[in-house]
Copies of this chain bind each other. A is one copy, B any other.
Amino acid sequence: MSDLKETQISSEKIFSGRLINLYFDQVKLPNGETSTREWIDHPGAVCLIPILADGNLCLIRQFRYGPREEFIEIPAGKLDNGEDPVDCAYRELEEETGFKANKLTFLTNIHPAIGFCNEKMWMYLAEDLEKTENRLDRDEFLELLPTPLNTALDWVLSGKITDVKTVIGILWAERILKRS
């Protein structure tokens, strides 16, 4: 395998945000030449496929300011500083949906935007759910949308669901739930 690696020559922090930081770097390319890379530092996140007692997926509906659209999604949230992804998954599920999971199964990691961002997500299946109460962040608004797996799958295949973590979560759930 040829060496494809790019190495940092210098790095300038352009922006420090609540969620993301932006850097502008000079890099050395594999052929020895130089170029620039603009990239986003992200703390990482978790997402979950919550299975309700009746077998429905506990999807949510949320407005997203970047794309200026409402999306149908699986619950998700970013890691707090130093937080273990498993702890984050339990916390975010309860905060967003008001359900505590008694069984959490790691499914896979995904990288959403490798072209410009280091975000890594941990994906879990959440089962044996127990009702508690949701406690959303003060600037977070969402609606629960309990949905049969077959309907969710139809929404993926018809393009009604386009959020990547949700597309992957539903296709993954179909593999492990319908074939087991």
Complex: A1 Cα to B64 Cα, angstroms: 16
Please indicate the chain B residues that have their CB under 8 angstroms from the CB of A31 in the complex: 141
Complex: A42 Cα to B115 Cα, angstroms: 11
Q: How many copies does the complex hold?
A: 2
A-B contact list, 16 entries, CB within 8 Å: A2-B141, A4-B62, A4-B143, A15-B38, A18-B38, A19-B38, A37-B66, A39-B65, A40-B66, A40-B116, A67-B117, A108-B157, A110-B167, A168-B168, A168-B171, A171-B172
- B115 near A19 with CB under 8 A, answer yes
A134 within 8 Å of B by Cβ? no
A residues at B contact (CB < 8 Å): 1-2, 4-6, 14-15, 17-20, 22, 24-25, 27, 29-31, 33, 35-40, 42, 45, 61-68, 70-71, 73, 76, 78, 108-120, 138-139, 141-143, 156-157, 159, 162-165, 167-168, 171-172, 175
Q: Closest B-chain residue to A106, C-beta based?
A: B159
Q: Closest B-chain residue to A14, C-beta based?
A: B15
Please indicate the chain B residues that have their CB under 8 angstroms from the CB of A116 in the complex: 19-20, 40, 42, 66
- A71 near B1 with CB under 8 A, answer no
Choice from B17, B39, B67 contacting A111 with Cβ under 8 Å: B67
